[in-house]
Amino acid sequence: MNLRPSHPHPARRGPRIGVLGSYGGFNIGDEAILTCVLSCLRARRPNAQLVVLSRNAEHTRVHHPDADEVVPWEGVSRNHVLDVLPGLDLLVLGGGGILYDGEARRYLRLVRAAQTRHVPTFAYAVGAGPLTDAEDRDAVRTVLAEMDDVVVRDEESRLVLEEVGLEREVAVTADPALLLAPEPFTGAMMRDEGIPSGARLVGMSVREPGRAAEKLDEGDYHALLADVADFLVRRLDARVVFLPMERHDVRHAHAVLSHMTAPDQGRILHGDYSPGQVLGFMRHLDVAVGMRLHFVIFAALTGVPVLPLPYSGKVFDFARRLGAPALVGVAREQAGLLLAEVDRLWDEYPQRRDGLRTRMGELSASARETCERCGSLLDQIDAARGSGDAPAAGADPAGGRATTGERPTVDGPTGDGRTGEGPTGEGPTGDGPYVTEPRPLNA
């Protein structure tokens, strides 16, 4: 594996900001989030050196030119990653749904390592849950307590952190991908995908069960979505296009097609597209029905009538904020209810359009608040360290926490002014697996 970082831009003399998340091309939603986080940081600090810690460094180098350096953090030696941390002025965790069982501890080991090296840390509209594993719960409770600001993307995540026992202020904003800009999806691209021009198009999104949706029964939801697809083919005289948001989705799209009575009316998008291009493709759709959160977000951004199929709290929460019908899950016995909702969505959308536009404006404004809080923290870091790097003209950061000394002060909910501890790295309790030097990363 090539461990070299991509070359830094020598002209950039601003702060070095690390960005850690599930980046590297595994999921279009996560790549959309990284695009928006980098755009925010560049707007707030045009001269910053942006260092992305990626699960697939080569993919990130190619697809995110706004990153000045890219450092792999999976499948490499622990020291290779830890050596990057002391040179950072800020480590940004997220965004996206990364605080869940089996994964939270991996990200938070790096965050804790940054904290023990006196690097300020910021949670950028992260998602949390499910969190039932004792080790992950302990990691979340202890490491997030010492972060300089914690922002989650939905109320569901805030409640998960509260249930875990995190005792601090947690801000709720919205998913960073709500600020993604569309890119053209041309007629030539449509022809390459075998999608006829002039046809009504229904977009659909399916996903694998996985750890975020362990209770899904594959046979049930494949058959259910096939029923929905067949209904829309007949009802609208439409073609159905499946949009894989990550590579595992392709197999499940094929499974749904195999259950359809009209599989010849279905297509699976096969090209390798950027998040902006996928968002651009949504403009060709007449209606969207899907499971993946960012599929639903992209459809709503485009103004397409969308019916979310909630499989987890994050999709329920977004459906609620969007004002979309909130079904209780994805099960075959709900076929009648689901088909009725699809029918109603199509008939009533002209009356709902203005309300959707208003709600999306509110959600986008909420997503911008995360960027403002991060910019505010950068201002405070600059002030504490006497930096001359000024925020971008027109930036209006808000929120954040006060900074003093080597590392910004972490004011807890009670205003006790707790800070990251000294070289021993002991946290509030002085013990536990995440209050000492972090353990080696899982490969």
352-395, pLDDT tens digit by residue? Answer: 888 899 999 999 999 999 999 999 999 999 999 875 555 544 44
| DSSP secondary structure, 297-308, as one string | HHHHHHT--EEE
**19 within some domain:** no
Q: What is the pLDDT of residue 436?
A: 30
Q: What is the pLDDT of residue 415?
A: 35
Give tens-digit pLDDT for 388-426: 555 544 444 333 333 333 444 434 333 333 333 333 333
- CB distance 238 to 202 below 8 Å: yes
Greater confidence, 331 or 45?
45
Strand segments (E) across 113-158: 121-128, 149-152
CATH label of the domain that carries residue 224: 3.40.50.2000
Q: What is the pLDDT of residue 332?
A: 56
The distance in angstroms from the start CA to the end CA of the chain is: 13
ω into residue 130 within 30 of 0, thus cis?
A: yes
Q: Does residue 385 sit in helix, strand or coil? A: helix
Point out which residues pair with 257 in neighbouring strands: none
**422 within some domain:** no
**6 within some domain:** no
**109 within some domain:** no
Average pLDDT over residues 158-177: 98
Instruction: Supply the mean pLDDT for the chain.
Output: 84
Give tens-digit pLDDT for 240-278: 999 999 999 999 999 999 999 999 999 999 999 999 999
Is residue 378 classed exposed, middle or buried when 0-12, 13-18 and 19+ CB atoms within 10 A define those classes?
buried
Q: Residue 107: pLDDT above 70? A: yes
**227 within some domain:** yes
- CB distance 38 to 19 below 8 Å: yes
Q: What is the pLDDT of residue 243?
A: 98
**284 within some domain:** yes
Domain that holds residue 203: 187-362
Best CA proximity match to 84, nearest among 25, 149, 4: 4
**57 within some domain:** no
Q: What percent of the chain has pLDDT over 70?
A: 81
Rounded Cα distance, 172 and 152, in Å:
5
**Helix (H), strand (E) at residue 368:** helix 335-385
Give tens-digit pLDDT for 183-215: 999 999 999 999 998 899 999 999 887 665 556
**435 within some domain:** no
Q: Residue 12: pLDDT above 70? A: no
Rounded Cα distance, 4 and 64, in Å:
16
Q: What is the dihedral of CA 156, 158, 160, 161, to 10 degrees?
A: 170
Q: What is the pLDDT of residue 312?
A: 77
Q: Residue 13: pLDDT above 70? A: yes
Give tens-digit pLDDT for 275-327: 999 999 999 999 999 999 999 999 999 999 999 987 778 888 998 899 887 66
Give phi and psi for 225, each to the nearest 5. -70, -30
| Domains of the chain: total | 1
Average pLDDT over residues 70-82: 90
- CB distance 398 to 369 below 8 Å: yes
Determine the Cα angle at 395 with ends 391 and 396, to 5°.
Answer: 115
Q: What is the pLDDT of residue 141?
A: 98
DSSP 177: G
